[in-house]
């Protein structure tokens, strides 16, 4: 069975940046399973996997516009420390959920901490990065009705 929209796909992958640093990998863990065509993985990788079959492997380079997008300076803001009520020890690298402009939830990362000001970054940590995937296709199957209805693998 080939990878197509509305198929459940399981892959092992290693993700590296252009310097060859490993960013993420499933190799020593369970394969990543996703519903193809439902936007569960970055668009560039989804496109590259289309039509592939179990047992195939590929290496693919994904540009930022087909991954997590470009970095946007306006998504880095300095906010008053009071916004972080109840958090005593704020450190760079900490992640928090914030309300997105569309009313949804957005992850922000603390970039810098000053006396009364905190610099936060709402860009995805991999925004602006070229992503290099080494992928092996482990399985392809039909989704359950519930998986189709929910738009993701259970």
Confidence band, pLDDT 50/70/90 cuts, at residue 100:
confident
Confidence band, pLDDT 50/70/90 cuts, at residue 66:
very high
* Residues facing 21 on adjacent strands: none
Just give the CATH number of 8-68+126-150: 3.10.50.40
Q: pLDDT tens across 20-59, in order?
A: 999 999 999 999 999 999 999 999 999 999 999 999 999 9
Torsion angle in degrees (nearest 10) through CA of 93, 22, 36, 1: -160
pTM for the model? 0.83
CATH class of 73-121: mainly beta
pLDDT for the residue numbered 105: 87
Q: How many helices (H) and strands (E) does the chain have?
A: 2, 9
Contact 109, 125 (CB under 8 A): yes
Domain ranges of the chain: 8-68+126-150, 73-121
Q: What is the mean pLDDT of residues 68-76?
A: 95
> Taking Cα atoms as reference points, which of 134, 124, 135 lies closest to residue 64?
124
Do the domains spanning 8-68+126-150 and 73-121 agree at the CATH topology level? no
């Amino acid at each position: 069975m080939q990878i197509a929209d509305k198929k459940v796909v399981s892959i092992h992958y290693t993700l590296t940046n252009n310097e060859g640093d490993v960013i993420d990998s499933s190799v020593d863990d369970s394969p990543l399973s996703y519903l193809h065509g439902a936007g569960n993985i970055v668009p560039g990788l989804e496109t590259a996997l289309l039509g592939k079959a179990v047992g195939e492997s590929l290496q693919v380079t994904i540009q930022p516009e087909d991954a997590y997008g470009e970095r946007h300076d306006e998504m880095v803001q300095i906010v008053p420390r009071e916004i972080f009520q109840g958090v005593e020890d704020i450190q760079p690298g900490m992640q928090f959920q914030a309300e997105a402009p569309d009313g949804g939830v957005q992850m922000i990362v603390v970039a810098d901490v000053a006396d009364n000001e905190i610099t936060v970054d709402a860009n995805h940590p991999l925004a602006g990065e070229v992503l290099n995937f080494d992928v092996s296709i482990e399985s392809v199957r039909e989704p359950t009705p519930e998986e189709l209805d929910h738009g993701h693998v259970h």
